[in-house]
């Protein structure tokens, strides 16, 4: 029986599991949100919240304890300088798990884990592309208002051009050429 054994094993040995969870927390610190399976997100949450609690303490001992768990200097520095100060007024619950549904390949439950107090970064590049697309039809409308020259009809293709056109046509799935 497994009474009082709360460790989520994730199908890994202890050392592999610790390394996986430490890397997940470092990715969460670096990117502010990560997409992972629901089981991993639930396993990452207590470790991430423990790290924020150490970050709020801010002592050298807390920094060394966080480094012993995470094993990445950049992540510890960002945790203590940016993420922990943003959560000073909060007494826990620093992360949020959002369920995303099933993954197509193996139907694993996916989730998004993110910091609650993280500022939302909005990228404006897609918005600019949309504006550019909207401007193009306006320019086309102006050109349509101008009188157009009549289109010239294409002459029949010569014998040399016909094989090139047939090569461009797609073949059916069973490999035969399309008969006309």
Q: Which of 1-5, 95-99, 119-123 has the largest mean confidence?
A: 95-99
pLDDT(175) > 70:
no
Q: What integer pLDDT is reported at residue 38 of this predicted model?
A: 97
Predicted confidence band of residue 124 (pLDDT cuts 50, 70, 90): low
Share of the chain above pLDDT 90, in %: 63
pLDDT(80) > 90:
yes
Give 84 or 161, the one with higher predicted confidence: 84
Residues near 39 by beta carbon (within 8 Å), at least 6 away in sequence: 8, 10, 109
Which domains occur in the chain, in start order? 14-115 (3.90.1030.10)
Q: What integer pLDDT is reported at residue 118 of this predicted model?
A: 77
Q: Are 55 and 84 in contact (CB under 8 A)?
A: yes
């Amino acid at each position: 029986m497994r009474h009082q054994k709360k460790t989520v094993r994730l199908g890994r040995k202890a050392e592999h599991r610790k390394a996986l969870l430490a890397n997940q927390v470092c990715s969460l610190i670096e990117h502010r949100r990560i997409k992972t399976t629901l089981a991993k997100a639930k396993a990452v949450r207590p470790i991430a919240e423990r790290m924020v609690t150490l970050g709020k303490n801010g002592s050298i001992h807390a920094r060394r304890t966080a480094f012993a768990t995470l094993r990445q200097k950049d992540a510890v520095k960002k945790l203590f300088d940016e993420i922990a100060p943003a959560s000073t007024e909060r007494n826990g619950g620093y992360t949020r798990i959002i369920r995303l549904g099933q993954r197509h390949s193996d139907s694993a439950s996916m989730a998004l884990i993110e910091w609650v107090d993280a500022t939302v970064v909005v990228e404006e590049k897609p918005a600019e592309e949309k504006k550019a697309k909207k401007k193009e039809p306006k320019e086309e409308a102006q050109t349509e208002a101008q009188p157009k020259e009549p289109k010239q009809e294409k002459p029949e293709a010569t014998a040399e051009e016909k094989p090139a056109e047939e090569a461009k046509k797609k073949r059916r799935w069973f490999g035969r050429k399309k008969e006309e």
